[in-house]
A and B are shown apart, each in its own frame.
Chain A
Amino acid sequence: MNFFLEVLTGGLLAGVMYSLVAIGFVLIYKASGVFNFAQGSMVLFAALTFVSLLERGVPFWGAFVITLITMAVLAWLIELLVLRHLVNRSPITLFMATLGLSYIVEGLAQAVWGAQVHALDIGIDDEPYEVFGILLSQFDLFAAAIAGGLVVLLGFLFNKTRVGIALRAVADDQLAALAVGIHLQRLWLIVWAVAGFVGLVAGMLWGARVGVQFSLSLIVLKALPVLIIGGFTSIEGAIVGGLIVGASEKLAEVFIGPLIGGGIENWFPYVLAMLFLLVRPYGLFGDKAIERV
């Protein structure tokens, strides 16, 4: 029983890390209807920039701020070169554009900083705590706290500020939002920059755990089922989805894996997401689309 609980909590805490990446997705989807496949590459780009600056002797907060500025510049470039030209095009077109974008950002990150693996130490020990006989990783708890903080912050941004209201208007109907005088380009810039910030936080935490390397951009593939279970438009959904995916994937790997050959972590979240969707086609917290002819 104790072993089960340990696997479960380990999975839940790993799930929080997935949620962090998924939140970046949700932000952009919510504000612009763009299904941003490049979020994983942005995580890689941010983490690689941050760690490379650290290695060149820039102090922690300096590197953090410089990386943030870099991500904002990246957001500005994306808006200027890509999004501006694709206003009001079909969601599939926008998705494919972000697919192309992910190639560019990945290539750029590695062209500038090289392709080797960097170790990242952000000063949090990975010593396990014992709570009611269950071992909990201190690092995972810290990550969970960060994710919680982000959710509160972003919830405030979306629900209480003028920018948040404008973002939701844009998500609802781009052309109508333009017509009532919302500055679409500025909003996109803000939201992509915020997504870059979330990407940086996710990249720092993931990088501290598994090292900063190319595989960071593949986390996007883990974040997809999270997003699909939670629904594309809900930050709470991303958190809940992350917890579900993290926990079930670890449980499946430990308890079902040995029976059918192991390595099922790769596809299990997708099958799980598919099952969820058969019951709720728009995810747990997603907005149901209304169709008119």
Chain B
Amino acid sequence: MAAKPKIAFFDFAGCEGDQLQVANLEEKLLDILEHVEVVSFREVHTGHSDNYDIAFVEGSITRPQDEARLKEIRANAKVLVALGACATIGGVNCIKNFLGRDVYSENVYGTRARWYPTYEARPLKAVVKVDVEIHGCPIDRGEFARIVKEMLLGRVPWLPDYPVCVECKKAGNVCRYHLGRMCLGIITRAGCNACCVTEGAQCWGCRGLAPSANLDAAREVMDQHGFDRKHVQDLMRFFLGDTSAPL
């Protein structure tokens, strides 16, 4: 490899939990940093430069003025990586999209709402071309490391395209539906090793829909197992509000 690629981290609406996951790689991160030059990463590093090759962008776009900044990042970067659910699928920010603009503006900013222009939350790809997506809320550190290594080696980063059930069954979990619980693992993209189910919860859908998710079948499954539409809708809107697939 010639010169070390320069990388930079940016954030929009989000909690910066994904950058924190990157920082939490600790020793692995130090090894990875041998192969790159970090020009901007405010979680772990001071200073900033607009000269970078790979931009890791966290957060979703929630204000008109975010668009100009994101487009500038896109113009500077050779590769733009969406980092985490807010950036890849809009994530929890999209819950507000089901309320009127006046309602959420006033909820957040009260009487000063008109000073703060804000609109429906959306993923980065609604505004610019995204080259690589690293899914999850938060992202999986191991997957981040793998994808970065694949990019550094000139490989096309690989993402699982099947539902979470595959990894959940590999982990040996008892299916949530067999315990009378609803779970979005049947339509959600894998890659998390079914961590939430393994820890006793259910899948919330944070990695977005699997590309070939069969939503009609999922609706049938949820009906058959006796879950009402309101319950399904609430869970679907938690992370998947930006998809056009309310069940």
- Are both chains from one complex? no
Which chain A residues have a beta carbon within 8 Å of chain B's beta carbons? none
**Contacts from B to A (Cβ < 8 Å):** none
